[in-house]
Amino acid sequence: MSASIDPVVSGSGDPVVDVAAVAAALGSARPPVVLDVRWRLAGPPGRDDYAAGHLPGAVFVDLDAELCGPPGAGGRHPLPDPAALTRVLRAAGVDARRPVVVYDGGEGQAAARAWWTLRWAGHDDVRVLDGGFAAWVAAGEPVTTAVPTPAPGDFAVRPGGLPVLDAAEAARLGAGEGVLVDVRVPPRYRGEVEPVDPVAGHVPGAVNLPTTEHAGADGRLRSADVLRARFAAVGVTDGVRVGAYCGSGVTAAHTVLALHRAGRPDAALYVGSWSEWVTDPDRPVATGGAAG
């Protein structure tokens, strides 16, 4: 294991790592596995960005096709099939006892969902490159177009490494059994606009805290103290259960990442999120309200 990246043990430690630490680790005798998960909701494909230049040794993994299941009743980005995910991660060189670093273009959301997926799958040592590819380039670190052929990994997916909410559990949090955080922008939360899903609004009782505010303009995650204060302002305090959702479980993973940095590794992700919630017309929909 690289001495430059401290191991994550049972959810402890900072889930984010900076450029300098990753650069040092890549130059060590046993570098981490690096996964490029650049992605855009409306395209173009992140693979094109990868082909144009990526971190040395990085392997591209497709968020839509390889880290999530097919869209349907479970939402637009449901959980992947464990056996299929095992094949994808082994092909990318992921080992059970080797650290993994994931990065995206810099916004942090796709990388957070990749981080969450690997942690849910049972890998305890996964980090997000703070600021992503943009931060790497800004620091003057090397970029390559060479595509590596990693040795097959030995990682076997063991679901359950991080907690997951289903629709019923999300409803209970919204009803007062904890705090359910809607991480979308306020107009979507209030039901004023809905650019993707067929119904606008939010889960009744959910509070709004946009995940975009958990990071600075450069995409770097805010400090643990700042994040703790932001979450406390909407009722996320010690001993209170907390879960997060968004449109399809990608941007909410970024809020779960922020909650981990803030000291809440028990935070749960509603993977199906709003895209699953609205598939059942009997589920209630709330509108209006203010951001947290």
Catalytic residue at 246?
yes
- The answer to whether residues 284 and 200 touch, using CB atoms and an 8 Å cutoff, is no
How many beta carbons lie within 10 A of that of residue 117, not counting itself?
A: 30
Out of 26, 102, 246, 252, the active site residue is: 246
How remote is the C-alpha of 150 from its chain's centroid? 24
- The answer to whether residues 170 and 180 touch, using CB atoms and an 8 Å cutoff, is yes
The pair of structure tokens assigned to 219 is 């995409």
Instruction: Give the whole-angstrom CA distance, residue 267 versus residue 289.
Output: 23
Contact residues for 140 (Cβ-Cβ < 8 A; gap 6+): none
Instruction: Give the whole-angstrom CA distance, residue 169 versus residue 66.
Output: 27
Single-letter amino acid, residue 66: E
**Annotated active-site positions, please?**
246
